[in-house]
Every structure is written in C-alpha cells, then in structure tokens.
Amino acid sequence: MTEAPHLSVVIPLAPREAEHGGLLAALHALPPGQEVILVRAAGQAPPDPGPWPPHLLLRHAEAPAGRARQMNAGALLAGGEWLWFLHADSRLLPGTLPALLRFTARGAPALGWFALRFRADGPWPTQLNAWGANCRSACLGLPFGDQGLVLPADSFRALGGYDEAAPYGEDHLLVWAAHTARLPVRPVGAALSTSARKYACRGWLGTTWLHWRLTALQAWGAWRRLRAARAAAPPRR
C-alpha cells in the first residue's frame, strides 16, 4: 500500500489562468511522495503541467469557479496530513521549501504563513504593500492567501474550510476562524513572492484603497464574532 503523502499542495486555477507554469516547475523540488492538486474552474480544459517528475503525484480536480469552492474541492480530494494553499502566480524563493518542511515536520497544529514579496511586474509602491502585509501578519496574526497558508488537514476540516458564501476574503475569514478556534497563527520563517500585475492593470492607489476598505469591513464583523464567541465560551483551565 502506498504511504499517504505528508503534504498536499492545492492550487486553484482561475478561468484562462496562465501563470501556473513557473510554480509547478518549482514544486518539482518537493520530497518524494508528496502530491500537487490542480483545481480548474468548471468548464475549463485540464491544464498542461508540462513534464512531471515521477516522484510526485499530480492530481486534477474541477469545481465551480471561485477560489473558495476550488480550494475546498482540492482539500476534499487531498490525502496529505498538511494542506498548503498556493495561488497560481505564487513563486517559491530559495528558502521557501526548506522552511515549509521544517514547519510541518514539527507536527504542532498551527496555521502557517510566509512573508510576502511582490515581483517587479507592477508599480514600485507595491513594496509598501508587502511591508504592510508582513507587519499586519506579524503584529495582528492576519495573513492573507497570497502568503501561502499551510495547516493540518484535520484543522482545516475542523474550521469548516473556506467560506464559499463570502463574496471576497475567504482566506481572511479562514484566519479569523483559526483565531476563534484558538489555532495558533505562526510565521513559517521564509518568504514567498507573488505577482503585482493587478496593481499594474488597475492602478496602485485605487487597488490598495479597495483592498484596505474591504478588509476593514470584513475584519470588523469577524472581530465582533470572535469577541462574542470567546465571551460565551467557558473559562479555560
């Protein structure tokens, strides 16, 4: 019988996604026996992963379009003890995989996140956005999905997975659910890069302001729910 993988990497692919090739090539460096799950939007042709190494399992899944639905579908198919959710435009840096493997090898249940870096495919002020995201994550424990969230599969299921009814910010809500459940939210100890193309296409100031406004609105409701849940919970001994 084949041993279950320690890690399942779940990658949702938006319709007409074309950014995943570089990520898949970097994932070839995973240790033998791990699995990568590509979840395409319903109605899209299966993606071409290029030459695939025999030491890794590659699985394909399909789900209704929407990042939360696609990531939940991938998690449902996954057989790994740990789930690592990556966006298609994420790119691994030299220290990414070693830090990830140390983090999961410790076995302590936690939701891990990577420091964020933006690539040079957008306006230079995105470096300020990365700095702000890393400060927010370190000080408030609120990383977002482009920071490569990783957690035990059992913990993900206990949290109820990603909220498919949320119009945006499903990653943000998962982190709040972790805080409500007292699942530690911890840095993995390395960085991950992502594309800044949306800032180039939509404008840096407008995109930044939209993200801040939507995040603040969502965080206010999530914080109130967290406070109510902890007030109603029996004292911890």
Q: pLDDT, tens digit, for every residue of 56-66? A: 999 999 999 99
User: Can you give the pLDDT at residue 119?
Assistant: 93
Which ranges of 87-159 would DSSP assign to H, the alpha helix?
Answer: 96-105, 126-140, 153-158
User: Can you give the pLDDT at residue 172?
Assistant: 96
Task: Tell which residue, 3, 7, 47, 14, has the closest CA to residue 29.
Answer: 7
**Cα 97 from chain centroid (whole Å):** 15
Strand partners, 152: 82
Model-level pTM? 0.93
Q: Determine the Cα–Cα distance for residues 117 and 128; give it in Å rounded to an integer.
A: 10
Q: Determine the Cα–Cα distance for residues 230 and 54; give it in Å rounded to an integer.
A: 48
User: Can you give the pLDDT at residue 228?
Assistant: 87
User: Can you give the pLDDT at residue 39?
Assistant: 97
User: Can you give the pLDDT at residue 4?
Assistant: 67
> What is the band of 3 on the pLDDT scale with cuts at 50, 70, 90?
low
Picking from 58-72, 78-92, 109-123, 198-212, which range would have the lowest pLDDT averaged per residue? 198-212
User: Can you give the pLDDT at residue 196?
Assistant: 92
Q: Determine the Cα–Cα distance for residues 179 and 48; give it in Å rounded to an integer.
A: 38
The tens digit of pLDDT for each residue in 128-173 reads 999 999 999 999 999 999 999 999 999 999 999 999 999 999 999 9
3-state class of 1 per DSSP? coil
- Given a cut of 50, whether residue 1 has pLDDT beyond it is no
Which ranges of the chain would DSSP assign to H, the alpha helix?
Answer: 20-27, 67-77, 96-105, 126-140, 153-158, 170-180, 197-202, 204-232
